[in-house]
Structure 1
Amino acid sequence: MSSGPDGQEDGQDGQDGQDGVGPQLLENTPKENPSKPSFSPSPAWTAVLTKQARILLTPLSFKKGPGRQGFLPRRILEPKQCGPGENAAEEPGAPTGPAGSQPLSLCPRRSREAPRLSPETAAPAADSPQDEDDSDGDERECQGSFSGLSAYERKRLKNIKENAKFFASLELLEAAAKLKKMTTRKPSCGVKRKKPKEEADETTRRRSMRLLKADPSGVPVPQVPAQPELAADESPGPPPGPLEMVPSNQTAKDEVFGEFLQTWTEMSQPSGSTIQQPSSLESYRASLSGMAVSEETVCKVTKDRIFSLAVHPSESRLLVAAGDRLGQVGLWDLDRGPKAAGVHTFAPHIRAVSCLYFSPANPAHLLSLSYDGTLRCADFSRAVFDEVYRNQELALSSFTFLSDDASSLLVGHWNGGVAVVDRRAPAPVQWADLGPGLVRTVHGHPLHRQYFVAAGARNVSIFDVRCLKPQRNRPLLSLPGHTKSLASAYFSPTTGCRVVTTCADDNLRVFDTSCLGSKAPLVTTVRHNNNTGRWLSRFQAVWDPKQEDCFVVGSLSRPRRIEVFHAAGRLLHSFAHEDWLGSVCSINALHPSRPVLAGGNSSGKVHVFKARGAEP
């Protein structure tokens, strides 16, 4: 049996197709086999390149038996190597067609995978010319080799052979090898280029006489001996001993500064006036409402951020002192004409001035403490800054008076220790360690001078100076409840029955310290935003010397303001102004007898609130 070019079989094969043995084929589209009535193979898809390729699907066969039901795929891609005279129909259990027809599986069994063509086997087939005689010879050879196959299987094997010849003619493997060779990078030879030598410049270049260390005439200048340089972590300390009082913003010994010193000499004696308490809380609130700020009461007193502030107790003149981050102390006399004429700035320290107090015995003395380890007293009658205490190894944090004549002082250190300084004794310093916590502020009791309160990292304690020893000091009373570091702790100004603390946990607390022998109960807690950050000085709530149960503190609220609270936690008044108060006043101080409030910000400005209509 043979097939024509269009894939149809001749009459004998057509007869077999009518008997149900051989299927009738179209080009690349096998039709269903009558011997398998329930199977309908799908047409195969072909990919068209330069020649149409014929691809047929693998037929399925039925095989019934125990444990195997349904359709089982059977691939006949490769013929089985059968011996001579062997036939698949002789195998036991082989399926057979109808009576008088050939078996369904007449071709030998194929392997599961089709044989792959190598370039060596595919090249001769691609190079040999193809004509009709060769095609007929191949067909006869195929019919002779596989005489026992059906027409469908012979047609399929012929298509496989033609497809193999076609793909071999495309030379895909050779093209892939050439492409791989083209895309492979060649190793660099690694030859370095030689840089051309620079030709010597025949002309002489001009050079600076300053770099040659010579004068314009060419004569060498004598060398100046080099100064010894300080280490990176070493900073020059302040000079010891008294310093001359020279204003840094004005010429020394001028007429204005002479008048300023004369004013301080006249105020060298205390006034002796008593502090008058308001009759009630309502009258005190009314006095606060009568205070205001104006353009004349706002001035830049220091160069940098204000760390401390004090108001002179004089009732005849209004003078404010401020200490900044760079160690400067500025004095502002509000009673002297223009603002610039009343400001005098001095530099007695080289680091931040954290504490300022006027002496209770002599208001002409201003004591200042700095982080540079020095405590100085400004004596304006002699125009000098005397040195009271000095410790170059430990930084100082604050100080307080232990006597009314200001002869005995208590100085706090950042390492947790305190020093009792007696300006009259030959051995003026007595050291005591209060514990591992920091000592940020110390403040003495207004009536019982032997007691003082110290605020540290997370603890506030009251100590007795008479019981201090170098090590292992136990507090007389502790004020618990603080969860973060404290900024300050102060006794109430008249009786010392209360202590107000400012903590970084955004709380202001008031404790009852009327009985120092037992526990100090917590009177009230005021929720207050104390998160000032690194560019603002920390808030410090301070008592009003004119009112025993009221204190003043700065605020981060907008518009900017200074708030006054009662000891019970009520907000009594807020000092604010849309035009002249536009910054945060972290440090505040009040006059002991007059309705005057001074607030300092982080740019060195001082805002003064005073009674309306009063002379500056």
Structure 2
Amino acid sequence: MSELSAYEQEREANIARNRALLEQLELKDAVAALGVSVKPKPAPKPKAKPVQAAKRVKRESTEEAPRRQSARLRKDDAVDPNETPAQRRKRLAEAEARRKKEEEERILAEEHAHLAKRPRAQELDLSVLTAAEELGDEEMNALRASLQAITHKPIPRCIGSVDAWVYDSDKHDAREAEELRKRLGQMKVASRAKVTQNRVYSAAYHPEPTKDLIFFGDKHGQVGIWDAQAPVEEVADEDDEVTPADEKSGGKYWRLQQHWPATAKSSISSIRIDPIDSHRLYTTSYDCTVRQLTFVSGVSRQIYSSSDVLISSLELSPSGHEMWISDVSGGATHLDLREGPSHTRWYGLSDQKIGSVSINPTSPHLILTASNSRSLKIWDARKLDVLLTQKQSGGATSSSSPPSPSKYTSGPFDFDFERVQKFIETKKGSGALRGEYAHGKSVTSAYWDPRGRSIVSTSYDDTLRIWELDAGKYDASPVFPAFTPFSRIKHGCQTGRWLTPLRAVWTPNPDVYPHFTVGNLDHSLNVYSCKGELVAKLSDSVRITATQAVTCSHPSVVERCATGNASGRCVLWAPPDLA
């Protein structure tokens, strides 16, 4: 409280004296008339007024508009007071017929909606696969023409030799790596396009040497076909002025709904092109199916399905007649395409998800698996066939060699993890598991190189590991004498739930020094030689602003790589003259 001035103090003293005098004279009314206390309270300080909300102007009330009614109700309510009983019966019958028709249409629409959410197992034509995109006649004809252009002659995949690119001196390897660095280190972004609508999960490069035709599988069962070097059509507006092509897009692309429904339950986990007949494309999906798309007829059909086990990867043998399919339950299924799905063999090779399966191209009986159990394993499929012999004979068999697939007259056959484990511990099962290596965390992928000699693995322990095996010891002993990686490369692999797990993938071209590509979390593409040497690090900070999680390379052209990211945008890396 602030102190009173001298004048106010004197004034207050005079008031007090006058009041005491009046009270002595018993003049209370006069005291009340003064209306001032001996110690009056000072006036409170003014407070800041709060900000008032703007007053809303109340709209003038208008008359309520009449509610809308269907034509049926309007007709029913508009009753003619002079109608005859016959007219009334006719009107009611017509109204009932309309109600029945509307109810039937509603039920039919619900059935179609229900069927649309179920996986489609029937054969599907291109017109059905592209129904969601609503392609016009010109776009559909362009798609058919692009697929037909690569069906004139088969382009079989070349298989390397197990003794190729093997030198006694490290100087030769260094010279080959330097030559590779000159060819790949100058590659730039040649084309970009949003090929799929959702996150890219898998990719495959078609072997056609005159085209850059790449197939991408996304999170919702969609296959994007990208002709990356095709000229972009310029569009004319209403004033006949030609609009230049969008710099953010390159080439032509089409989208096929290969697996249905279009949800995360249909994610395409892997894409493979037939190694002998490059006119066939195989896709695996989380909808528990494997489908085959034929470019000649443009028809997609289901060739395999599991009951309720999600399929994680697929690999075809060099002959193109057999395939191995891995799943999230830890199993690997062998399917002979000449026999059909009724003769499949399922082996429980792990107690956790197998993320990838790879077939040795020069020794197809050696199967490589990578699983969430932190283990990388090499299996001998010939030994696993002994389990079939025991099951058919009801016990042990005296035959020393495994039976041929033609002897299997019934199936499918299932061998769970416990039975496989007990089998490899027996004398007859010795050699079924040729090699095993434990990683620090889950093994995302593991693949053989085109020679069938080297292995590269990717793990969540942020390490890339490389093996090189001596082919002369493949059959010399039932188990590889030493199965340890000779090179360990630190590489960030913590992609989380919003990025596709990084996988190191070998270049399938056997005519070039073996090397592999892998995406980097710093938005670059890394290329390593089979000796673990960094050959190239491709990046473009202006045009590339996302992790290139999925990679693939051209099977016959060295200076070609393609990548895809989590938004569905894909990139073609090529020499500067094409970029």
Alignment match, 2:149? 263
Alignment match, 1:463? 379
Alignment match, 1:57? none
Letter in 2 for 1:463: W
Residues 417, 288 of structure 1: alpha-carbon distance in 2 compared, 3 angstrom cutoff: same
Residues 463, 493 of structure 1: alpha-carbon distance in 2 compared, 3 angstrom cutoff: same
Alignment match, 2:323? 409
* Separation of aligned partners in 2, 1:425 and 1:240: 19
* Structure 1 residues 363-390: Cα deviation after superposition (integer angstroms, max 9, x where no partner): 1111111111111111111010122211
1:525 matches 2:421: no
Alignment match, 1:333? 227
* Structure 1 residues 133-167: Cα deviation after superposition (integer angstroms, max 9, x where no partner): xxxxxxxxxxxxxxxxxxxxxxxxxxxxxxxxxxx
1:224 matches 2:180: no
1:287 matches 2:172: no
Alignment match, 1:36? none
Of 551, 566, 589, which residue of structure 1 is paired with 2:516?
Answer: 551
Q: Give the TM-score, by structure 2 length.
A: 0.64
* Separation of aligned partners in 1, 2:269 and 2:358: 14
SS of the residue 1:259 aligns to: helix
SS of the residue 1:480 aligns to: strand
Letter in 2 for 1:490: Y
Which protein has the larger Cα radius of gyration, Structure 1 or Structure 2?
1
* Separation of aligned partners in 2, 1:570 and 1:452: 26
1:499 matches 2:455: yes
SS of the residue 1:307 aligns to: strand
Letter in 1 for 2:136: T
Of 593, 603, 608, which residue of structure 1 is paired with 2:567?
Answer: 603
Alignment match, 2:338? 424
* Structure 1 residues 35-67: Cα deviation after superposition (integer angstroms, max 9, x where no partner): xxxxxxxxxxxxxxxxxxxxxxxxxxxxxxxxx
Alignment match, 1:375? 290
1:477 matches 2:336: no
Alignment match, 2:119? 238
Residues 205, 383 of structure 1: alpha-carbon distance in 2 compared, 3 angstrom cutoff: closer
SS of the residue 2:182 aligns to: helix
Say which structure is richer in helix.
Answer: 2
* Structure 1 residues 455-477: Cα deviation after superposition (integer angstroms, max 9, x where no partner): 11111111122222423224523
Deviation at 1:251, TM superposition (A): 2.7
Alignment match, 2:136? 251
* Separation of aligned partners in 2, 1:322 and 1:330: 5
Alignment match, 1:321? 215
Residues 215, 598 of structure 1: alpha-carbon distance in 2 compared, 3 angstrom cutoff: farther
SS of the residue 1:266 aligns to: coil
CA RMSD of aligned residues (A): 3.1
Deviation at 1:579, TM superposition (A): 2.4
* Separation of aligned partners in 1, 2:65 and 2:490: 74
Letter in 2 for 1:373: C
* Structure 1 residues 561-586: Cα deviation after superposition (integer angstroms, max 9, x where no partner): 11112344332210011222221100
> Which residues of 2 match residues 514-593 of structure 1 at below 5 A?
514=470, 515-516=473-474, 517-518=479-480, 519-546=482-509, 547-557=512-522, 560-593=523-556
Deviation at 1:501, TM superposition (A): 0.9
Letter in 2 for 1:237: R
Identify which of structures 1 and 2 has the higher relative contact order when contacts are C-alpha pairs closer than 8 Å and 6+ apart: 2
Residues 311, 341 of structure 1: alpha-carbon distance in 2 compared, 3 angstrom cutoff: closer
1:349 matches 2:313: no
* Separation of aligned partners in 2, 1:268 and 1:328: 26
Percent identity of the aligned residues? 25
Alignment match, 1:439? 354
* Separation of aligned partners in 1, 2:455 and 2:574: 26
Letter in 1 for 2:122: G
* Separation of aligned partners in 2, 1:400 and 1:267: 23
Letter in 1 for 2:369: A
* Separation of aligned partners in 1, 2:513 and 2:280: 26
SS of the residue 1:440 aligns to: strand
Deviation at 1:428, TM superposition (A): 3.3
Letter in 2 for 1:440: G
Q: How many residues align structurally? A: 404
Letter in 2 for 1:550: H
Deviation at 1:234, TM superposition (A): 12
Q: Give the TM-score, by structure 1 length.
A: 0.60
Is the Cα–Cα contact under 8 Å of residues 519 and 548 in structure 2 kept in the other structure?
yes
Residues 302, 292 of structure 1: alpha-carbon distance in 2 compared, 3 angstrom cutoff: same
Letter in 2 for 1:214: L
* Separation of aligned partners in 2, 1:324 and 1:438: 20
SS of the residue 2:151 aligns to: helix
Deviation at 1:238, TM superposition (A): 1.9
* Separation of aligned partners in 2, 1:288 and 1:438: 35
Residues 262, 480 of structure 1: alpha-carbon distance in 2 compared, 3 angstrom cutoff: closer
Deviation at 1:545, TM superposition (A): 2.8
* Structure 1 residues 484-511: Cα deviation after superposition (integer angstroms, max 9, x where no partner): 11210111222x2221111111111112
Deviation at 1:340, TM superposition (A): 6.9
* Separation of aligned partners in 2, 1:292 and 1:590: 14
Letter in 2 for 1:593: S
Letter in 1 for 2:120: P
Residues 523, 215 of structure 1: alpha-carbon distance in 2 compared, 3 angstrom cutoff: farther
Give unpaired runs (5+ residues) of structure 1.
1-203
Is the Cα–Cα contact under 8 Å of residues 267 and 364 in structure 1 kept in the other structure?
no
Is the Cα–Cα contact under 8 Å of residues 510 and 567 in structure 1 kept in the other structure?
yes
SS of the residue 1:285 aligns to: helix
SS of the residue 2:210 aligns to: coil
* Separation of aligned partners in 2, 1:341 and 1:318: 10
1:449 matches 2:308: no
Residues 591, 325 of structure 1: alpha-carbon distance in 2 compared, 3 angstrom cutoff: same
Letter in 1 for 2:380: D
Deviation at 1:530, TM superposition (A): 0.6
* Separation of aligned partners in 2, 1:587 and 1:418: 23
* Separation of aligned partners in 1, 2:229 and 2:157: 18
Alignment match, 2:21? none
